[in-house]
Amino acid sequence: MNQEKFQATIGYQFKRVKLLEQALTHRSFSRNINNERLEFLGDSVLNLVISRHIYQREPDANEGELSRMRASLVNEEALAQVARDINLGEYINLGGGELKSGGSRRASILSDTMEAIFGAIYLDSGFTQAQQTILFLYNEYIQTLADTETLKDPKTRLQEFLQAQKIDLPEYTVAKTVGKSHNQTFTVTCRIDTLKLQTSGKGSSRKKAEQAAADRAFQKLKR
């Protein structure tokens, strides 16, 4: 692992390099010294940094709007995208099984490791430095943050649309699940009986599949 290159990429030089090594070590590589505890800490640090930033930046936003903005920046896919921007997968220590199954590209592993790095920076240099690094890595996504209406997840948008029309809410059903437990694909149907409308969506989790199905239903209803 080229530690110097990685530290230059994130704009931070660790005082205690062991913290960086731990942050980049997945449980599949070492059960005793891995990044799970740092991930736990980094998750809280990230949420506080993003919450504080958007609270100050959006003085007119209400609690719900602030929550949606934060969620769009700290969810698994957002974290994984930040990780991809810095080619984090190249630096993660993974066990043989995870390497063979493409673990270095998996969103869950990338996002967890990203949080672990934030936790490690916090322990190494404190909150101010962690905040500086997070805002540096997130700068593009913060600057292009969508409006609060757009940030509503598809299920919420569909529900609010149906409620406004006094139409019964949809039912979601898992139609199919394929793949092994660590790499499954779900197919979910979204059915609105009153409108005789049914759509389907796929995703790496039931929640993502439901969101995909809801988005298709919402797009059809908007036409």
pLDDT digit string (tens) for the chain, length 223 residues: 678 999 999 999 999 999 999 999 999 999 899 999 999 999 999 999 999 999 999 898 899 889 989 998 999 999 999 999 999 999 999 999 888 888 889 999 999 999 999 999 999 999 999 999 999 999 999 988 876 666 678 898 899 889 988 999 999 999 999 988 777 899 999 999 999 999 999 998 899 999 999 999 999 998 7
Instruction: Indicate if 21 belongs to the active site.
Output: no
Residue 147 neighbours by CB distance under 10 Å: 10
In whole angstroms, what is the distance from residue 108 CA to residue 127 CA?
25
Instruction: Indicate if 193 belongs to the active site.
Output: no
Cα dist from 213 to 76, 188, 222, whole Å: 19, 7, 15
- The set of residues, in sequence order, having a beta carbon less than 8 Å from that of 134 and lying 6+ positions away, is 45, 46, 49, 50, 118
Q: Which of 39, 98, 112, 115 is catalytic?
A: 115
Domain ranges of the chain: 3-143, 154-222
List, in sequence order, the alpha helices (H) in the chain. Answer: 3-10, 17-23, 36-57, 63-74, 76-85, 96-100, 107-125, 127-143, 154-164, 206-222
Q: Which CATH class is domain 3-143?
A: mainly alpha
Predicted local confidence at residue 28, as pLDDT: 93
In whole angstroms, what is the distance from residue 151 CA to residue 68 CA?
6
pTM: 0.72
Predicted local confidence at residue 37, as pLDDT: 97
Residue 220 neighbours by CB distance under 10 Å: 12
In whole angstroms, what is the distance from residue 135 CA to residue 153 CA?
24
Query: What is the fold of 154-222?
Result: Double Stranded RNA Binding Domain (3.30.160)
Q: Which of 43, 124, 210, 215 is catalytic?
A: 43
Predicted local confidence at residue 183, as pLDDT: 79
